[in-house]
């Protein structure tokens, strides 16, 4: 199964190409928001990593949705692609897409809860 995911990612979602571009784009966005607040510093590396992983996950979900949308057309006109030729099934992609969605939602929730707890704690000290 891992080999099939490796074939799929190499053909349809090449991580070695996408990950650096996503990380640089996210870094630019984080530095821009810091600049808007007149803060001249490098963003927190953990926030940069989390934001990059969530963004990369979003692009993966777009790829999964595109596979569903174009399945009939790909099977008819592009049978050489990974899903029509049976490397992975649409159900495999659906499970992976929902898993990525769950991880992204959980990471955003944890970040929000930490921020709320920190705000509540600092307000109670004053």
90-113 pLDDT, tens digit per residue, is: 999 999 999 999 988 887 777 666
Domain range for 16 is 2-125
Measured in Å, how far apart are the chain's first and last C-alpha atoms? 55
Total domains in the fold of the chain: 1
Helix-, strand-, coil-residue percentages of the chain, each rounded to 5: 80, 0, 20
**Helix or strand run (H / E) with residue 58:** helix 45-69
pLDDT tens per residue, range 33-92:
999 989 889 988 888 888 899 999 999 999 999 999 999 999 999 999 999 999 999 999
Q: How confident is the model at residue 120 (pLDDT cuts 50, 70, 90)?
A: low
pTM of the entire predicted model? 0.81
């Amino acid at each position: 199964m891992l080999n099939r995911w490796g074939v799929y990612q190499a053909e349809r979602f090449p991580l070695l190409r996408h990950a650096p571009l996503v990380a640089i784009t996210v870094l630019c966005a984080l530095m821009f928001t810091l600049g808007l607040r007149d803060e001249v510093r490098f963003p927190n590396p953990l926030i940069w990593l989390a934001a990059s992983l969530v963004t990369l996950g979003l692009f993966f979900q777009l790829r999964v949705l595109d596979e569903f949308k174009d399945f009939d057309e790909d099977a008819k006109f592009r049978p050489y692609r990974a899903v029509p030729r049976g490397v992975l099934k649409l159900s495999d992609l659906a499970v992976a897409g929902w898993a990525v969605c769950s991880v992204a939602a959980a990471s955003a929730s944890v970040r929000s809860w930490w921020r709320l707890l920190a705000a509540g704690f600092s307000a109670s000290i004053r």
